[in-house]
Amino acid sequence: MGLGYTRRRFLKQTAQTVLGASASLSVAGLSPSEASAQVPCDDWGALPNPALGGVPVGTSTQWTCANHAGYKILEIWLDEGASLWETFWIPGSGGSPDLSAMNVDALGLDSIDWMAGASAEDPCDGPDHPTSFADTYAFGTSTDNQTIYWGPAAKPLWYRPDIMARARMLGLGHALLPHQAAQPYGLSGLPLGNPRRAGTGSAIQRRHTALNPDAILPVSFVFHRGLGHRAAYAAETGSHPGTSRPLVVGLSDTDVFSSELARTQINPASDSLFNALRRDYGDRQRWLGQGARVRSSGHQSYRVAAELLVGATNLQQLFGTGTLTIDGSSSTCPQVPGSPPAGYFPHLKTGLAAAAQLLSQNQARYACVMDKGITGMYDTHSGDRQKLYPVANLLNVSRQLARLIRDPIANPNGPIDLNDTLIVINSEFGRTPLLAQGGGRDHWPWGYNAMLIGGPITSGSRGIRGGFDAEGAALPGLDYTPTDLRGAMLLAAGVDPFAPGGFRVDDFSAALRATALTETDIRSRLVETVFGA
């Protein structure tokens, strides 16, 4: 059964399953949703104490599945592996950054027009935008006692003291070089072939459904532009029921998603036929056509899908008119020499705005926004112009995120509140510290960072956990993995990472398990390592 699946839990779940099935067969007329409503809130996904100290920021009460839903999660996925050396990890000594480290000074960043594309609606100039590549910020000290600076592309974030007071970095590493292996691992914390492999949003959605069995609208979302198969990785359900799948929203310049929900080709007769077929299907689940329907996760998934189909206009109401429409005519900021490649538009701005709207209105508990880049892809192996794409892309990420984070002084109208939302900036792997022969950077899974802002991170826990050697690999004993990050994200969201369908103790990194042998140990180590609490 694995170290993380205890005999006690197995017996408890077996008893609940038998009793639940017996109850559903004996109560005449009980619908599937009514049957599941009788499940106690700790049947799935209760968060055993201690976790995050058992106390949410700003409160003094213990977390339970009944009194605390956890923090909302906003994940920004930098697709195809982002180079963070010139942005979030510039080592320094003697009180100044070493611009030659990781070949940063060889990038020719002075050819980037940092201020290009300014407009009244979306200004690019201002004190929060870099003046040169030497415009850096001493963020903190790594675990191996290096001073780490954030580079100019992160200035919109580090210019804001309120954001920096709640920021933390986690060094990660693994050994999966191909995108096809690293992407599903990075988005789930489990490798290809593992039947439990599921996106973080699926577990959050499952817990919401367990606590709100009659809820139809989703609370987990994935936004993307032309990244369907990556979005599918983020929305995997693994061994969770189909009702746990996040809603995947494809962004376009015509808002195809909302227009296709209008049901303009459906007439009342079609709905009547559909509902008749649904009733017939439901009757086939009754013993001899009588009594309650047999409880079935498959039927529950079908029920939710069918009700979403009939009530598609309810999904439309989640988004305002034009919210999901990409403005492809907007100029990009910053700009690299030449025109952006075809298909690269300000989709991140659109996706983040939609996610922030849902999170701020408590219509979402998890939102993953995938960024393929505004000036060109992150996956650049060669070319003087292409090697500048990642830096320009990351400045755009910093700009769009900073403008959404609320601050009483700097940004009182920002929809994202760091007191109730954890932001995670993540990728499938990093890029090589040395430039490749063609001038770009190759895949580098052995050492890279995840950035975390807000949520359970306080001024006392901000900083860095991790470090890299001269070759850019995570130091021994500090080589944490995507599993560790995903487990911590679930804890922050109020979900036990060891709930059924989740992780097991031996899924986590050897670095984390060095002093953690039980589920309780792992929870405590995740809190200490990832959140610094």
pLDDT single digits (tens) 139-195: 999 999 999 999 999 999 999 999 999 999 999 999 999 999 999 999 999 999 999
Task: Say if residue 131's pLDDT is above 80.
Answer: yes
Burial category of 213 from C-beta neighbours within 10 Å (exposed 0-12, middle 13-18, buried 19 and up)? middle
Looking at residue 120, what is its pLDDT?
Answer: 66
Q: How far apart are CA 460 and CA 478, in angstroms?
A: 21
pLDDT digits 0-9 by tens, 314-367: 787 888 777 888 876 666 678 888 766 776 778 999 999 999 999 999 999 999
Is residue 14 scored above 60 in pLDDT?
no
Looking at per-residue pLDDT, the higher value among 451 and 95 belongs to 451
Alpha carbon of residue 262 to chain centroid: 29
In this predicted model, which residue has the larger pLDDT, 406 or 317? 406
- Contact criterion met (CB below 8 Å) for 166 and 420: no
Residue 462 near residue 450 (C-beta atoms within 8 A): no
The CATH number that applies at residue 438 is 3.40.720
Query: Which of 196-200, 213-217, 298-302 has the highest average model confidence (pLDDT)?
Result: 196-200
- Give the pLDDT of residue 27: 24
| 473 belongs to a structural domain | yes
Instruction: State the SS3 of 347-375.
Output: HHHHHHHHHHHHHHCCCCCEEEEEECCCC
Residue 2 domain flag: no
Quote the DSSP letter at residue 113.
Answer: B
Residue 53 clears pLDDT 60, i.e. is over it: no
Is position 312 within any domain?
no
Instruction: Name the residue range of residue 238's domain.
Output: 30-266+318-531
> Which stretch of DSSP H or E encloses residue 449?
strand 448-454
| Reported confidence tier of residue 118, pLDDT bands at 50, 70, 90 | low
Backbone angles phi, psi at 220, to 5 degrees: -120, 135
Question: Does the structure show a pLDDT above 80 at 378?
Answer: yes
- Centre a 10 Å sphere on the Cβ of residue 18 and count the other Cβ atoms it contains: 10
Apex 436 CA angle, 431 and 437, nearest 5? 170
Region of poorest pLDDT, from 39-53, 98-112, 280-294, 326-340: 39-53
CA 108 to chain CA centroid, Å, is 32
What is the per-residue burial (b if ≥16 Cβ within 10 Å, else e) of 381-408? beeeebbbbbbbbbbbbbbbbbbbbbbe
Dist. CA 405–CA 420, nearest whole Å: 12
Distances, alpha carbon 379 to alpha carbons 191, 234, 371, 415, 428, in Å:
21, 19, 12, 31, 11
> Rounded distance, CA 279 to CA 293, Å?
11
CA distance 533 to 528: 5
Examine residue 159 and state whether it is found in any structural domain, yes or no: yes
Q: Strand 137-141 relative to strand 147-150: parallel, antiparallel, unpaired?
A: antiparallel
Residue 332 belongs to a domain: yes
Using the predicted structure, report yes or no on whether residue 293 has a pLDDT greater than 80: no
Quick check: 218 pLDDT over 60?
yes
Range scoring the smallest mean pLDDT among 75-79, 106-110, 457-461: 106-110
Is residue 523's pLDDT more than 70? yes
> Predicted confidence band at 252 (pLDDT cuts at 50, 70, 90)?
confident
pTM of the model: 0.87
Which of 118-122, 239-243, 468-472 is predicted with the least confidence, judged by mean pLDDT?
Answer: 118-122
Average pLDDT, the chain: 83
Rounded Cα gap, residues 165 and 158, in angstroms: 10
- DSSP reduced 3-state for 84: coil
Q: Which of 444, 351, 434 is nearest to 400 (CA)?
A: 351
Rounded-to-integer distance, Cα 331 and Cα 342, Å: 13
The answer to whether position 271 is within a domain reads: no
Provide the 10 A C-beta neighbour count for residue 94.
7
In a domain, 407, yes or no: yes
The pLDDT of 86-101, averaged and rounded, is 88
- % the chain with pLDDT above 90: 48
**291 pLDDT above the threshold of 90:** no
CA 326 and chain centroid, separation = 21
pLDDT of residue 298: 67
- Report how far residue 145's alpha carbon sits from residue 125's, in angstroms, rounded to the nearest whole number: 35
DSSP secondary structure letters along 394-408? HHHHHHHHHTTB-BT
Alpha carbon 173 to its chain centroid, in Å, reads 18
For residue 390, being part of any structural domain is answered with yes
Tell me the pLDDT tens digit for each residue of 456-468.
Answer: 898 999 999 999 9
Distance CA 8, CA 20 (A): 18
pLDDT of residue 280: 81
Q: How many domains does the chain have?
A: 1
User: Three-state SS string across 38-68, please?
Assistant: CCCCCCCCCCCCCCHHHCCCCCCCCCCCCCC
**Rounded to whole angstroms, how far apart are CA atoms 264 and 261?**
8
